[in-house]
Structure 1
Amino acid sequence: MIDRRSLLRTGTAAAAGALGAASLSSPAEAAEPASRTGGHPADPDPTAGVTRTLLQEHPSPAAGWEAVQTLVQIPRHKESGRHSHPGIEVGYIIRGDVLMVFDDRPPLRLRTGDPFFIPNGVIHNARNVGTVTTMMLSTYVVDETKPLVTTYP
């Protein structure tokens, strides 16, 4: 698990590196062509260059919860890595094309201008499948006692 306070203070490639410690979810996926996975098959670090920048953080009206907003940038052929959050994520694709892959449901193709919602605890991975660096605005309402992001191999 990643300490939210550390992650939010850094907001740079170092935080993205910690965020992206996870790899593709299965050896079969790793062998698929780049067009299916969003990364290059031989890429040793599919999360390199992913950044999450803290924009704002505020206490929620509900005790024990807080609202956190970030700008997530995912370079071409890269991905966020499999992860979850201790609360909901409400997002918007500012620029780019993403294949949002979930452990428990079909993938969701998102393009510039598309909103998205990820329920509490759902494991997901945002893969840039477009031609530019993807920019996503992500707002979380999360348990303030837990790390913002938990990564999975």
Structure 2
Amino acid sequence: MNIVRITMGALVVASLAAHLHSAQAQTPEVHRTDLARHDLSVPGREGIQVRVDFDRGAFAPKHSHPGEEIAHVLQGTLEYQLADQQPVTLNAGESLFIPAGTPHSARNVGSGQASELATYIVTKGAPLVVPGK
């Protein structure tokens, strides 16, 4: 009887662990890959390029940057919300200019993965991503 209880307990624990791992693996995420960073001819400014990959349904919550951003959609469909403006939806090949300090968010609204090339002209040494307000 003790062996049956131990075996059943082990099966329950294994089942719960598998379920939790599966739930975590299914959480859509945003992945950032730094591509380039270089000082500019303007003192105190730098240019940064980042590839941002959005899993299906992934959401980058409201944030801002210490300078301008140009977002170019490489694949998929992304919806951007800038400050209090109406959301704008961009498809692969389309770009969006985001003014310095403008709070914004992005969401993958397509049926698969989406990616953007983000180019920043920012204050050197400042945190690149500032959580939104």
Larger strand share, 1 or 2: 2
1:140 corresponds to which of 110, 120, 130: 120
Flag structure 1 segments of 5+ consecutive residues without an equivalent: 1-46
Query: Which residue does the alignment assign to 1:66?
Result: 46
- Residues 1:92 and 2:38 are matched in the alignment: no
RMSD across aligned C-alpha pairs, in angstroms?
Answer: 1.4
Flag structure 2 segments of 5+ consecutive residues without an equivalent: 1-26
TM-score (structure 1 length as normaliser): 0.67
Q: CA deviation at 1:48?
A: 4.7
How many equivalent pairs are there? 107
Identity %: 36
Q: CA deviation at 1:52?
A: 0.8
1:122 corresponds to which of 102, 106, 131: 102
Q: Aligned letter for 1:52? A: R
Q: Distance in 2 between matches of 1:109 and 1:91?
A: 12
CA deviation vs aligned residue, 1:83-105 (integer Å, no higher than 9, x gap): 10000001210001011012232
Q: Aligned letter for 2:54? A: I
1:35-46 superposed matches below 5 A: none
- Secondary structure of the corresponding residue to residue 138 of structure 1: strand
- Secondary structure of the corresponding residue to residue 60 of structure 2: coil
- Residues 1:104 and 2:104 are matched in the alignment: no
User: Post-superposition, which runs of at least 4 consecutive aligned residues in structure 1 deviate over 2 A?
Assistant: none
Q: Distance in 2 between matches of 1:112 and 1:93?
A: 5
2:34 corresponds to which of 31, 54, 63: 54
